[in-house]
Structure 1
């Protein structure tokens, strides 16, 4: 199976070399999209060639650019929520830069504010199987959230569960589902593991996030059985074609010796981009409380320390297809203080998580579009309790997941979008249980 994964990784990087760079039979379409009545620029309008996946979305200034447009006669489509869809017939020649502007007319119908996007992959403008609620970079900044779990608290119908002090495990449920019924993805790749099924939201650094898409309700047909409650897709930032460097750093100090430090750097040059971010969160958690006899006590062994790192690099081709890879790391060491009635002064939870992913998105063939990705997730969890009645107890859980996804999208014109493909995933779960350093395996190894 590891050979299969390596083969897929080699195939992905081979695409980078094999994709034709000859642009002599292609042109470029660009323009501006505005509201017909107010003249306001429209952000996020979808523009694409009818019957294909060749397209793009307008930026904050209402501008869009579609590169690598095959020479010939096309119907170009512009669509935006609350506006009437507009189509124009165009003829584009090889090497031509064609200007096509749109004045969009409001359809007089009122809808709640919804952003339409594709959560299976971010590159295909016309791959829009579901409507989602989106937390943009601006909303994330205004929320003053420190991690994804805190950011999702603003989403209606969501319940965030925290298991301990700041920096500890956080999970989410949507519309009354369990946390194991909510699929969590980064750039379209699932994070749910075989050990817990749910995902620790505190492991995703906020500094590396462009937006968070939340799909409520069951979508098992598209995403699998672990998406009964909904889907959360975290889209990371891209600096491609921005030709600049972004540096950010901030720190927070609080009570109980709480310290939070965040830093990120983004670099874009031409079609290349690199993003790196780091977060350190720690606190003593030694707050005061009254025990059952009314005596004031100090909470012991409630400290936490976690380090989160994220690194991503990518290349954006002229046809807006994208090759990218990311690495995510988390290490945390948290005290496990027990209950007020039965405190524990030395038990520890130690987590070590590594996630590597590589993907190629948005390769188009007329009405067809292709996405390929592969990933490897390694997660280690140790629970150590020196104060057990049996002596020193240690629980060790190691889980690994590696797999790949090949997915096609076919534009069926007025009949909608057809998504199909194949996904392979292998999960390996190993566990051990030690009492006074003597192994007593009760689960062993499962694949």
Structure 2
């Protein structure tokens, strides 16, 4: 009887011990929770994609579209918690986490112009710090443009080593930008990441419109195509301000040069707009041969819910009149970015330009008229595996049409061409090393297929020495 009772009571006693011990076990393994929100200190708008880091641990979080974050399984103790995001000043707070307790930590971040100035988007088509990209690049920010007293984008980059910018308003002249000694035709010029056309693409962009100019030196054909063998110059226009702004300027120079600029920009909730007008009159050294007149109108409208969900629509009209040439151009572009989950973004771009050039070749009374249309579309997928590893996959379509004729005659030239491309890029960082591997496959309707690989390496040997290599 006793044996039977012992056999039955043993498991009961074991269960009683487990039940009694459970509260103690829960207490020894319990942890805390950190939650909170992050907003812009000026606007009060929620900030998404802000990194929240618990120093001294591997724990971290990222804010969602509402600016909220959560960090669970935090051990009890005292910690430093950091909120950091590109374009904003880093903020650090000291907190104490208790077992089975929730701690609320909110942040209000203020914009940092210095940090924004160090961010590049041209070198890899992704945001990278200036000193963290394996591809050689330079940047001219707004303060430097004012210091140089530059009137346009061309003058803004004249001071950079390895660049030579030249312009002439002669009858058959245009501006030329040479990077590292290569002919001007090997350098690609962009405005907000889109190609700009014309004989004076950099001269036509007034300094008042510019936020910064990014210059990539060396081959960039893997991301931008064969017209970027020498390098890329990307002019980034001003972002929408927190408060309405109005500016006007008048400049005068030699040869009776007069330049008038007007601009206005503002933001309303998540929407913003920017308008700019520029008028240039120059008599030239020989009034009958090299006078120059131009008008340039630019507009940009945008919506930004957060850094991963935004949309921008822009357009412009440009007209220039020289002694033997008259050119008129209208262009438009759009760019949209949508966040997918916590780690992927889809970027869609579109661009179109229609232009007419009337040139009196050799002083002929009848002008040669060239009508050119160009349209481009691009879709890009970015996948961020970690803070130090990003993968990019993109496809691009380009269509061009050209008609050329003498005045009042049928077209002598009527041609078109198209280009389809696909490219991939992988960026990663390990310790002091930053690695980039990329490849692009182009199919041209006339020249056929072409494959372009690229690899680059950055080694940060010391705080003052960076070593870059690429093939």
TM-score tier by shorter-chain length is 0.5 to 0.7
Question: Matches of 1:121 and 1:358 in 2, distance apart?
Answer: 20
Q: What stretches of structure 2 of length at least 5 have no aligned partner?
A: 1-34, 42-48, 73-80, 87-91, 110-116, 418-471
Alpha-carbon distance in structure 2 between the residues aligned to 1:89 and 1:175: 52
Describe the shift of the 1:96–1:268 C-alpha distance in structure 2 as closer, same or farther (beyond 3 A): farther
**Match for residue 354 of structure 2?**
378
TM-superposed CA distance for 1:260, in Å, is: 1.0
Task: Please show how residues 17-416 of structure 1 align to structure 2 within 5 Å.
Answer: 28-29=37-38, 48=51, 68-69=66-67, 71-73=69-71, 98-99=106-107, 115-119=118-122, 130=135, 132-164=137-169, 169-191=174-196, 200-239=201-240, 242=242, 244-285=243-284, 287=285, 300-318=288-306, 320-335=308-323, 348-361=324-337, 363-384=339-360, 387-388=363-364, 392-413=365-386, 416=389
Gap runs ≥5 in structure 1 = 1-25, 33-45, 56-64, 81-85, 102-113, 288-297, 336-347
Distance 1:236-1:363 versus aligned 2 partners, 3 A rule = farther
Whole-Å separation in 1 of the counterparts to 2:275 and 2:68: 36
CA contact (8 A) 2:170 2:289 kept: no
> Shift in Å at residue 313 of structure 1?
0.9
Q: Matches of 1:90 and 1:411 in 2, distance apart?
A: 31
Q: Given the superposition, is the C-alpha separation of residues 357 and 438 from structure 1 closer, same or farther in structure 2, using an over 3 Å criterion? A: closer
How big is the shift at 1:256? 3.1
Per the alignment, do residues 28 and 446 of structure 1 end up closer, same or farther by CA in structure 2, a change over 3 Å counting?
same
Secondary structure, counterpart of 1:302 in structure 2: coil
Aligned counterparts of 1:149 and 1:321: Cα–Cα separation in 2: 32
Superposed displacement of residue 68, structure 1? 3.2
Aligned residues: 345
Alpha-carbon contact 2:301-2:314 (below 8 Å) kept: yes
Q: Which residue of 1 aligns with 2:402?
A: 429
SS in 1 for 2:144: helix
Correspondence for 2:393 = 420
Normalising by structure 2, we get a TM-score of: 0.63
Deviation digits for residues 129-162 of structure 1 (CA, Å, limit 9, x no counterpart): 6563211111111111111111111111111121
CA pair 270-222 structure 1, distance change in 2 beyond 3 A:
same
Q: TM-score under structure 1 normalisation? A: 0.66
Residue 77 (structure 1) shift:
8.0
C-alpha distance in 1, partners of 2:65/2:316? 32
Q: CA deviation at 1:412?
A: 3.4
Distance in 2, matches of 1:210 and 1:433, equals 41
